[in-house]
Amino acid sequence: MKKMKKAFITWITGQDWSYLAQLLLDKWYEVHGIKRRASSFNTERIDYLFENKNFNLHYWDLTDSANLIKLISEIKPDEIYNLAAQSHVHVSFEMPEYTANADGIWTLRLLEAIRIAWLEKTTKFYQASTSELFWWLEYNRPEAWYTEESPMHPRSPYGCAKLYAMWITRNYKESYDMFACNWILFNHESPVRWETFVTRKITMAVAKISLWLQNKLLLWNLDAKRDWWHAKDYVDAMWLMLQQEKCEDYVISTWETNTVRDFVNWSFEEVWINIEWRWKWIEEKWYNKKTWECIVEVDSRYFRPAEVDFLLWDSTKARKELWWIPKYSVRDMCKEMVASDVEKFRKQEILKNHWYEILEQYEI
């Protein structure tokens, strides 16, 4: 009988983590996830996984190296997916020290735990890197495509911390002959994306505006371009990377970029609201064509001290060596996210109205 593989996923309560855990369980892995101990049991993204006997959840703290070494030594995972990070760029400017610890030093602790547990020859390690490592350096030439070997110039504390994590992973690969690889990924979204990220902020606001629960959506740079894609496609690439015989770093992208403005338009189209914009840049406002109410406005408070406006990526290597092809389109993803948020807030309103009726009935 073939031995069941063991996978260890850091910070399993997030977006990618829940999709990856389900993917691995479907492939008959024994999955071990770690989450930070908090006063609230914030596991709504993975509650459905607890029904699977091959799923195990452990507590951790990013400063507790001893417990991490203990877990790695006891579990002896075949594959480790390091997805833990403070991944919000704007927040990294407000919490730079915490970001450096959570995104950079944590990766070092994890690699050291593998080495101390004598697993450097048997455990494959995956480090989630980011496109925020790079900046459009080449005089803003639109034909400048970036690859795995392009020069790096992070523009935020988040990018700087991730740059350290990438290079310490490469250092351990070369120093200890570990199977340790980096995945340079673009923005990947889904209905369970954290609510502070721009795509989810847009779809939630659009859903609330369509249900008359919110009046206006406040945004920043509407012309910023991103390569958005569904998180389900990207976790497929994560797994494929650790199934290779040769350890390599890969760019994962779709070769398609869209602006924040595009995503706003698509989201409102999903709820049958036509919008028209007036003025430009910081003074830009968008109006509902039917009611002529202002429903989108640029707010300068959300602008960052430094920004990566636009990057073009070449994922030829990943497509050629991993045979990875995304299944979703960005419009499919947007449609799914808006529909999910509309359904979520509609249910909340129905439940709230139900309780109001009960309270009125008993004159409470």
What integer pLDDT is reported at residue 364 of this predicted model?
A: 53
Question: What is the arithmetic mean of pLDDT over 6-17?
Answer: 82
Alpha helices in 211-249 (DSSP H): 231-241
Q: Whats the size of the chain, residue-wise?
A: 364
Rounded to the nearest 10 degrees, the angle between the axes of helix 330-361 and helix 198-210 is 50
pLDDT at 281 > cutoff 70: no
Angstrom CA distances, 52 to 46, 75, 117, 239, stand at 11, 18, 28, 20
- Compute the average pLDDT of residues 223-234: 86
pTM above 0.75, yes or no: yes
Q: Which of 81, 158, 172, 234 is catalytic?
A: 158
For the ranges 147-156, 157-166, 177-186, which has the lowest average pLDDT? 147-156
| Residue type at 126 in one-letter notation | Y
Buried b (16+ CB within 10 A) or exposed e, 185-200: bbbbbbbbbeeebbbb
Distance in Å from the first CA to the final CA of the chain: 63
- For the chain, counts of helices (H) and of strands (E): 11, 15
- Average pLDDT for residues 343-359, to the nearest whole number? 75
Instruction: Report percent pLDDT > 70 for the chain.
Output: 85
> Does 283 participate in catalysis according to the annotation?
no
Q: What are phi and psi of 10, to 5 degrees?
A: -90, 140
pLDDT of residue 142: 47
**30, 79, 120, 132: the active-site residue:** 132
Whether 271 and 334 have beta carbons less than 8 Å apart is answered as no
Q: How confident is the model at residue 141 (pLDDT cuts 50, 70, 90)?
A: very low
DSSP string of 150-187, one letter each residue: S-----SHHHHHHHHHHHHHHHHHHHH--EEEEEEE--
Provide the pLDDT for residue 132: 82
pLDDT of 138: 47
Question: Pairing mode, if any, of strands 6-10 and 79-82?
Answer: parallel
Distance CA 24, CA 260 (A): 32
Q: What is the mean pLDDT of the chain?
A: 85
CATH number of 6-185: 3.40.50.720
Three-state DSSP at 59 gives strand
The answer on pLDDT for 36 being more than 70 is yes
Q: Which residue has the higher pLDDT, 141 or 317?
A: 317
| Whether pLDDT at 208 is above 70 | yes
Q: 290-335: per-residue pLDDT in tens?
A: 999 999 998 776 666 655 566 677 888 988 999 988 888 999 999 9
**Does 122 score more than 80 pLDDT?**
yes
- Of residues 10, 130, 203, 254, which has the active-site annotation? 130
Q: For residue 3, what pLDDT is reported?
A: 80
Known catalytic membership, residue 269: no
pLDDT at site 274: 93
Lowest mean pLDDT among 58-62, 154-158, 240-244, 307-311: 307-311
Q: What is the pLDDT of residue 283?
A: 72
- Specify the pLDDT at position 359: 57
d(CA 364, CA 359): 5
SS3 state at 120:
coil
Contact call for residues 64 and 112 (beta carbons, < 8 A)? no
Locate the domains of the chain by residue range.
6-185
Per-residue model confidence as pLDDT tens digits over 43-79? 666 666 777 889 998 887 777 889 999 999 999 999 9
Active site residue 123: no
- 3-state DSSP assignment of residue 248: coil
For 87-111, how does the pLDDT look when each residue is reduced to its tens digit (9 = 90+)? 888 889 999 999 999 999 999 999 9
Where helices occur in 1-54 by DSSP H, the ranges are 15-26
